[in-house]
Amino acid sequence: MKTPMILTAVLATTAILVGGYGQLQPANAQQEADWKPVWTADGELQLPTGYREWVYLGSPLTPNALNGGAAGFPEYHNVYMHPEVFKIYQETKVFPEGTILLKELQLTLSSDEDDGSSYEVSGRGYFPGPYNGIDIAVKDSTRFSDSKNWGYFNFGHHAPPYAETAAAAPTAACAQCHIDNASADMVFTKFYQILDAE
Ligand code: HEC
């Protein structure tokens, strides 16, 4: 009786190990596939899905009323990063190859006040309204070696639905301003306290 029982145990353990290993590889590959950019055959970037559940980095706001009535982006600029990339950044303080920073624009609630502010029970201020566009930055040192390893994409500056794919914008339209002004590796990290907070 003894031998078959041991044999059964060994076989079962082997099966678990083999099964576990078999699952481990695709799971890791799958995890990475979840946050890596997806490119179309002609090199356009596909709009990621599920980004509103990514790590929320912050929301710079440049209202029209404080910008001569015509801010380039008068909305909240809600910036997101995939949780796996966030984890890597926390460990290395480096944006890994394939990092996507996604900025969704969100209008302030409309108002009749000269400064564009409105009143809510919490006080007078600016309050988030409808979504209004998406900009994306991707780190890829092969595709974008001419613009300090980052490419920039606009998926529409309007209410959803947004474009499903977008071509890289010319350097002069986006990258140049990031090259000239960003705080670290082309990103305005100084506005995203969560990135470097202890
Ligand atoms: C005139 C300078 C300027 C230009 C041009 C510009 N940006 Fe930015 N961008 C900024 C600044 C400043 C921030 C951070 C503060 C904010 O959002 O107001 C930012 C933030 C971003 C972010 C969030 C991550 C980060 O780097 O902080 C993305 C994504 C982004 N821009 C994409 C684009 C795209 C796409 C274009 C072109 C369509 C573009 N930007 C053009 C100045 C610029």
Superfamily of 38-196 according to CATH:
Cytochrome P460 (3.50.70.20)
pLDDT of residue 110: 84
CA–CA distance, 48 with 70 (Å, rounded to integer):
29
Residues 118, 125: contact at Cβ < 8 Å?
yes
Q: Give the residue, by CA position, lying nearest to ligand 1 atom 21.
A: 103
Residues 61, 76: contact at Cβ < 8 Å?
yes
Atom of ligand 1 nearest to the CA of 152: 35
Q: Could you tell me the residue ranges of all domains in the chain?
A: 1-35, 38-196
Q: How far is the CA of 174 from the centre of ligand 1 (A)?
A: 7
57 lines ligand 1 (CB under 6 A): no
Would you state the structure tokens that stand for residue 193, as one six-digit string? 């306290």
Q: How far is the CA of 177 from the centre of ligand 1 (A)?
A: 8
Name the residue of 108, 162, 188, 196 to mutate for ligand 1: max ligand atoms within 8 A of Cβ.
Answer: 188
In which residue ranges of the chain is pLDDT below 50? 1-2, 10-24
Q: Which residues 6+ apart lie within 8 Å of 92 measured at CB?
A: none
Chain centre to alpha carbon of residue 162: 15
CA–CA distance, 32 with 26 (Å, rounded to integer):
10
- For residue 192, give the nearest of 77, 63, 71, 35 by alpha carbon: 77
pLDDT of residue 28: 64
pLDDT of residue 18: 45
Q: How far is the CA of 187 from the centre of ligand 1 (A)?
A: 8
174 lines ligand 1 (CB under 6 A): yes
pLDDT tens-digit profile of 65-84?
889 989 999 999 999 999 99
pLDDT of residue 183: 86
Q: What are the b/e assignments for 121-160, b being 16+ CB within 10 Å? A: eeeeebeeeebbbbbbbbbbeebbeebbbbbbbbbbeeee
pLDDT of residue 155: 98
Residue labelled with tokens 């481990």: 24
pLDDT of residue 175: 98
106 lines ligand 1 (CB under 6 A): no
Q: Give the residue, by CA position, lying nearest to ligand 1 atom 36.
A: 174
